[in-house]
Structure 1
Amino acid sequence: MRIDKYLKNSRIIKRRTIAKEACEQGRVFINEKRAKPGDEINIGDIVQVNFGTGAMKIKVLKISDNVRKDDAIELYELID
């Protein structure tokens, strides 16, 4: 799955266009490598998203296309 779509499905970033812009601005990393919006993620990858006030580091646990809001937290595990 593309990183921009995963960030939107997991509710880490609210909209896919915002997730795409974050990748283009160099604020998203997959396994400590700068991510492009179309980069694929796999289970077990470490994703870091730098926001204006801080950073969020997660481990990918599941990848799913259709996720309810309540189940989105099950897609990842917070690190740090």
Structure 2
Amino acid sequence: MRIDKYLWSTRYFKTRNLASTICKKGHVKINGQIAKPGKEVLPLDKIVVRKNQIDYQLTVLDIPTSRVSAKLVDIYRKDTTPKEAFEHNELLQYSKDYYRKKGTGRPTKKDRREIDDYLDEPLDKTD
């Protein structure tokens, strides 16, 4: 089975076109090598998929005949993604929310003046 079809049928991507696009961008590796969308997947292959800044690590257990339900996905793959990858993603989310809340838009005139004042202040250097 093709890698794009496998990723779609095991519900890593919503559409097969999206899975194919991700493969073309080089975000999918099979056994350490970058995979094109037409690369064949065999049982016991190790797959690394970069999605949402997380490198998901999978082991192929079996090849499905078609798209499977969410309950049956674990029959066809084993997810070996370390917990550190998810924790790192949570830290990234916190760092993004630190300065500005989502949806507040560009800095206001007052914000810009405060930034300029902060950047123009001389550093305290005692001689």
TM-score normalized by structure 1? 0.92
CA distance in 1, matches of 2:70, 2:78: 16
Q: Is residue 18 of structure 1 aligned with residue 18 of structure 2?
A: yes
Question: What is the number of residues matched between the two proteins?
Answer: 80
Aligned to 1:69: 70
Question: Which structure shows the higher helix fraction?
Answer: 2
What pairs with 1:1-16 in structure 2 (closer than 5 Å)? 1-16=1-16
**What per-residue deviation string (whole Å, max 9, x for no partner) do you get for residues 24-54 of structure 1?**
0000000010000000010000000012321
Who is 2:87 aligned against?
none
- Aligned sequence identity (%): 34
Partners of 2:43 and 2:61 in 1: CA distance: 5
Runs of at least 5 residues in structure 1 that lack an aligned partner in the other structure: none
Q: Whole-Å Cα distance in 1 between the matches of residues 71 and 51 of structure 2? A: 23
Q: For 1:46 and 1:52, locate their aligned partners in 2 and report how far apart those are by CA, in whole Å.
A: 19
Q: 1: distance between equivalents of 2:71 and 2:78?
A: 15
* Bigger proportion of residues as strand: 1
Q: Which amino acid aligns with 2:17?
A: T
Following TM superposition, the consecutive aligned residue runs of length 4 or more in structure 1 with deviations greater than 6 angstroms are: none
| Superposed CA offset, 1:47-70 (max 9, x none) | 000123211000000101232332
Q: CA deviation at 1:22?
A: 0.3
Structure 2 unaligned blocks of 5 or more: 83-127
Spell out the pairing of 1:23-62 with structure 2 (5 A cutoff).
23-62=23-62
CA–CA distance in 2 between the matches of 1:12 and 1:6? 9
| Structure index of larger Rg | 2
Report the RMSD for the aligned CA atoms in angstroms: 1.1
